[in-house]
Structure 1
Amino acid sequence: MSFQDEFNSGVLEVISPSPAYYPDTSRLRITLGDPPERVRWRSKQNLDFAYLMMYSQPKAVFYDQLDDILAKPHFITTMKIAAYDRIANKQSRFVLDFCQLGFIGKMFRCVELPWLVQLFFMFYSDKPVDRLLENEIHTKVSLLATDDAACRRAKDELWVHYKPSLFQHIGTQPSLKEKLKKSGNAEHPSDRFYNTTVEVLLKIVPLSEASENMTSDGYVIIGKFDSRCIAEGVVSQKLGAFSELRLTVHSVSDNRAILSEIFIWGQEAR
């Protein structure tokens, strides 16, 4: 696929920092219990985002971070309408969040990008970029809020979540091979799926293949959430097509979990 016309018109640009831009990543302080390789990866990502924000800041009104995504139709129009509606209605906000995954789909006003750039430069090796954003929002509201409830209301005014999500992350070649997608979120780490299986209902059941993992009501178990709260499963071609997919929670929990993203790949895409 060629993008020559887009390059010639200036719609697309390719930029790359000088190697001198990056510090020595072999001596980074280990934090959050992450292995050194992940600390280096997330630190470089923070510096990459800071560089991109500095380059982009004078070029536009809004800045949005996208990376290896599948977007819903007309996503640009949807985002612009949401952003300009808040401006027209004089509603304050720091970030418009169009995706619940990490830093994807986070829209900022370009005039406010220097706040994030300074934050990333100061703490690039301490935390991943999404946690640094959470810290920035918390800092902005904590000095004004009188209690936890007021803090949450103030945070919701600055960090506005757009639903439903406009993007899904589809990268199959992550820059860090240990990078995994997990259920739950940073604010409520206990709101995850525990003791839960992933099951499918086959259109035609070949008993010799499916009987071992079949439930009493005819579903075939293809995976379950493990101790990391990650579920992966493969439907063997021998089982044929299926008509339904469900999650079965096998124990009572004091917490609740929201499943916001499901990724299904066909055999040709794996």
Structure 2
Amino acid sequence: MISVKKGRHCQRMKAELRRRYKPSLFQHIGMQSSLKGKVQKLKDKDFGKQMLHRAHVNPPAELKTSLKAYQKFKIQKAYIGEDIFWATSPVKGDFILITFTPPIELDGFLIRSGNTDHPSDKFYNSVADILPSIPLDKEYSSLFNKTDNGFYSVTDFDKNGLANVSLKEPIGKINSIRIRVLATSDFWVLISEVGLNCIFVE
């Protein structure tokens, strides 16, 4: 039996699947449209603006956070590059946890907080940790500060709100990446970019 849906239902379903990139990836140029009577807009309203978030193709992961998201700006959207993550002021002990199943090999990652519209909404007094799937050898564990539950602290967020990690040593597969807030902030926090550099083994 064929199910007939109303046009409104179809429009809603398409809107859920369609990704809207801002600023737009392509731009129409020219003074006239090929369609008679059509007014050709020369520029989309958001074209040419500085990007407020940056998209990366990241591996599947489970994301958890103690931070309270503002409206629709969820951490999952920032991870897949669909939108920013925006949350109310972090307090000491807040976290974001990115867990990979199965574990993955990385040679680095970056997490960028703040953007041009909200430059103050970034991570202050915060660190990025990793959880290797196998405990590190003494040779490598001395490079990082061991924290709790097998995690190692690999970098602080700098004054620009960026955590940029290069894992040059062969530390093996990683179960999780964690962001930890070490002190309560007076500002909200916004994540505009999450980029993982995966190692692909054939």
Q: Which of the five TM-score ranges fits, normalised by the shorter chain?
A: 0.3 to 0.5
Higher relative contact order (CA 8 A, sep 6+): 2
The TM-score normalised by the length of structure 2 is 0.47
Name the one with the larger strand percent. Answer: 2
